[in-house]
Structure 1
Amino acid sequence: MLRHRHCGRLLIASVVGRLPLGMVPVTLLLTARTDGHSLATGSVLAAMYGLAPAFGLPLLGRLADLRGLLVPCCLGAAAVTAALCMVALAGTSHLPLTVACVVLAGAGCPPLEGGLRSLWGAALPDDAHVRTACTLDASAQQIVYVAGPALAIGIATWLSPAAALLVAAVATLAGSLAFVSARPARKWRGAAHRRGQSGVLGSRAVRPVLISLVFLGATIGALDVAGVAVAAREEAPWLAGVLPAVFSAAGLLGGVLFARFQGAADARPRHLALLGFMFTAAWLPLLAAVPAPVVLALAMLPGALFVPLLTAASLTVTTLAPPGRSSEAVGWGSSAIRLGLAFGTGQAGSLGGHFTIPLAAAAGCALLLVVHTLRPAAATTAACQAGYRG
């Protein structure tokens, strides 16, 4: 897939442009502490940044479907760059201004993920290549959430948290410009749609899958809290950071394997339900009280299944969306994941960080995917085929 013209550039530019999603939350924590604020204040700022894209991405994705990728990507990149530079230069001493900038930086995230998903059909020759590209993209997202925090902490330690925010701003701007200046991005326009046509949320076929993504995101939010709880139980502070990293690394490997061995497009509804139940079962061994190294080994199984499940569900959302709404559909999928992350973190924190929380969230995800699978097969298949042709 990467040998095809423009594909490598589009993928790399998209990952670079999304790198701040992994860098900014931890940098806001460090900036707030440096300016004398409490950890709670820094956590609130990081949470606001994490939730803001859930509202901005669908809107910018809809604008991309209507006007092409140039305007929303450049508009979003400019907003993010200005907001992060403001926080870097002014600090967090004036909290109302900081909150406004943090929300703008989150809500303005350019729709690179949705744009990339929409471009694969124009840049690649057939559906098999498109499915492989989408899986590779979902796997590459793990790099954002592993390399992003590490890069931010390294820059903040070597230079300052303000320098890390400036690097995040440059990454957004550089990645977005490299992305939209590629020929497929300049030429792409969303498919025509009928006036008065319902949006993505109006599709009965899409709604169960979107809600399942909320539960899927909740498993990751709960995992972070469970890592902290297990680290305290085992008196191994390093486990809190290593557990999510191991989970993400396993996801990267699982996504690559899934791209190699996944079946035909018309089998995706069955794959969705099967992957959902496998993902749920993979959390069961983590309920046992085992030493820290064993916890890491056991976490690799749900990690390896996370990216294949995320890829299959995201592809289903895109293909079942109404014509001309692909970027908006990806935006809603990203919003669902982010809302789930916040919900899972909050619930797991209030319930003590047990692995039963990600297990319950995974079970909810699987049940909703079964609801989707049991919908009339003919309608679902026709919608998938129409989506792939789009």
Structure 2
Amino acid sequence: MTTPLDLTTSSYRRLLATPHVLRLLASAIVGHLPVAMTPLALLLAVRTDGGTVSLAGLLAAVYGVSAALGQPWWGRALDRRGHTPTLLFTGCASAVAFLALTVLPTAQYPAVAAALTAAAGLATPPLEAALRVLWPEVTPSDAQLRAALSLDASAQEVVFIVGPLLVLGIGIAAGPGATLGAAALLVLAGTLAFTTAAPARNWRPAAQRSADWMGPLRVRGPRVLALALAGAGAALGALNVLALALAESLNAPALSTLVPAALAVGSLAGGLLFGRMRLPGSTPRQLSATALGLAVGLTPFLLTPGPLASVITAVLPGLFLAPLLISVFASLEDLAPDGTLGEASAWMIAALGLGQAAGTAIAGTVGQTGPFLPATMALAGALLAAVTLLLGRRALATPRVPSRSESGHPILTV
């Protein structure tokens, strides 16, 4: 049984009134919107140029994979060089690549389009990792840090709801070619607003450490978390294919968008609730419980529910998705080696993204046979996450560390 909601110390209103919090969160959201906009924007741009759907799909895949692969390297740069140089370089490079794609006839020059798309993805600013490094610096209590991580995870769902809507709106108002230009402006605006905030300007890297190509993954705890997030990402990727298979099987085309949207709504609600609850048990148990909840929430899809039931069912796994992410990032502060929190956060983001790409690709090979196999693959990914966390619970168990009031150092105890 959970304890009552802590409506005072975990108040989101109080958190947002804390200096710098709203600016950092809002700028990170703005700068991250292109990640959600680009796949659809590329589809519109390629089709407008007379290109094929397969080319658009290829470019979208190139962008997603390159964005995931680039994050750990930029996370390491955050830890070693600081926020300002890393974010400004990546933000400007990504914006330039988007602007070049805006004027390039993609159908005529597919190889150049692929190279520019890869550049835009690889240079995605590590705003999520940077924000998670700064949360302990700007939140005055353990409760507010927990609320900040919850609000952060929930805000990512807003990104993936608003991003496609922006593409559609901009495409109608200014034409499909303007959508990639808008992505360039957003990534640049968000990055500039973030890097000019006082906490980002004043943050300094920890003392230089010896080079280690594995970075935080040389420690078992972060490796366990990364593998678990890869499994969760695979479940999310398979769910996208499942939504399309349900739409075709049930002759309800809207399900292809309503099911992912319902998952996002569930995750948004779950994250906000989780940030205001005090749950019993150790951090490893909470991690396992949220991953298992994700799997249980996906199980009804094996029965191929009807259109309305499918939308309602999609909310269930979403309720556990954001809490899983919150628990993972809350654990990193204790598990990541000193001076590697930015890179560790980036590895988690990369693991989730790569798992999602793999889940989409694998489930796509069986999606033509109906919704059962994609549903099975989504469930398998969630179970992989749960089993990984259960087997790795000893690596995830860390001794209790002093709270802020005891040590002066911002530590989150979940």
Q: What TM-score do you get using the length of structure 1 for normalisation?
A: 0.95
| Aligned residue runs from structure 1 range 238-249, under 5 A | 238-249=254-265
Aligned-residue offset at 1:287? 1.2
* Higher deviation after alignment, 17-26 or 278-287: 278-287
Q: What amino acid sits opposite 1:19 in the alignment?
A: L
Residue 204 of structure 2 is aligned to residue 189 of structure 1: yes
1:310 Cα deviation from its structure 2 partner: 1.5
Q: Aligned partners of 1:8, 1:45: CA distance in 2, in Å?
A: 34
Letter in 2 for 1:85: L
Q: Counterpart in 2 of 1:209?
A: 225
TM superposition shift of 1:127: 2.1
Q: Is the 8 A contact 1:211 1:368 kept in 2?
A: yes
**Equivalent AA in structure 2 for residue 355 of structure 1:** A
User: In the alignment, which of 367, 376, 401 is matched to residue 356 of structure 1?
Assistant: 376
Match among 57, 60, 66 for residue 46 of structure 1: 60
CA 1:358–1:327 in structure 2 vs 1: closer, same or farther (change >3 Å)?
A: same
Q: Please state if 1:314 is matched with 2:332.
A: no
C-alpha deviations, 1:320-343, integer Å up to 9, x for none?
Answer: 111111111111111101110111
- Give, in angstroms, the shift of residue 97 of structure 1: 1.4
Q: Is the 8 A contact 2:215 2:340 kept in 1?
A: yes
- The letter of the residue matching 1:15 is I
The answer (yes or no) to whether the contact 1:317–1:333 under 8 Å persists in 2 is: no
Map residues 298-337 of structure 1 onto 2, 5 A cutoff. 298-337=313-352
Q: Percent identity?
A: 37
How far apart, in 2, do the equivalents of 1:15 and 1:330 lie?
Answer: 16
Q: Which amino acid aligns with 1:239?
A: L
* Post-superposition CA distance 1:84-116 (Å, at most 9, x none): 000001231211211111001001011110110
Helix, strand or coil at the partner of 1:54: helix
Corresponding residue of 1:18: 32
Structure 1 residues 384 and 317: CA distance shift in structure 2, 3 A: farther
Question: Matched residue pairs, number?
Answer: 387
Partner of 2:399 in structure 1?
381
1:158 is displaced (CA, Å) by 2.5
Q: Which runs of 5+ in 2 are unaligned?
A: 1-14
Shift of 1:193: 5.1
Aligned-partner Cα distance in 1 for 2:288–2:295 = 11
Deviations 1:208-263 (A, max 9, x none): 11101001111111111000000001101111011101110111111000001044
Secondary structure of 1:375's counterpart equals: helix
| CA displacement at 1:389 relative to structure 2 | 4.5
Report the residue type matching 2:65 in the other structure: L
1:252 maps to 2:268: yes
**Do residues 370 (structure 1) and 385 (structure 2) align?**
no
Equivalent in 284, 292, 302 of residue 269 of structure 1 = 284
Letter in 1 for 2:114: V
Between stretches 227-236 and 156-165, larger displacement belongs to: 156-165
Q: Aligned residue for 2:19?
A: 5
User: Which amino acid in 2 is paired with 1:14?
Assistant: A
How many angstroms does 1:318 deviate by? Answer: 4.3
Match of 1:141 in 2: 156
Partner of 2:12: none
CA RMSD of aligned residues (A): 1.9
State the 1:195 CA deviation.
2.7
User: Which of 248, 263, 273 is residue 232 of structure 1 equivalent to?
Assistant: 248
1:51 shift after superposition: 0.8
Q: CA deviation at 1:189?
A: 1.6
CA change 1:268–1:318 in 2 (3 A) is same
TM-score (norm 2): 0.89
- Checking the alignment, whether the CA contact within 8 Å between 1:179 and 1:185 is kept in structure 2 is yes
Alignment of 1:168-187 (within 5 A): 168-187=183-202
Q: Deviations over 1:26-69 (max 9, x none)?
A: 10011111111110110000011011122211111111111110
Partner Cα distance (1:191, 1:51) in 2: 30
Question: Partner of 2:355 in structure 1?
Answer: 340
* 1-structure distance, mates of 2:219, 2:394: 16
Q: In 1, Cα distance between the equivalents of 2:228 and 2:21?
A: 30
Amino acid at match of 2:128: E
2:239 aligned with 1:219: no
Q: Which runs of 5+ in 1 are unaligned?
A: none
Alpha carbons 1:320, 1:383 under 8 Å: kept: no
Q: How does 1:99-118 map to 2 (within 5 A)?
A: 99-118=114-133
Q: For residue 100 of structure 2, what is the aligned residue in structure 1? A: 86
CA change 1:28–1:318 in 2 (3 A) is: farther
- Quick one: distance in 2 between partners of 1:295 and 1:19? 27
- Matched-pair contact (CA < 8 Å) for 2:97–2:117: yes
Distance 2:121 2:19 in 1: 31
2:76 is matched with 62
What letter corresponds to residue 225 of structure 1 in structure 2? V
Q: Secondary structure at the match of 1:290?
A: coil
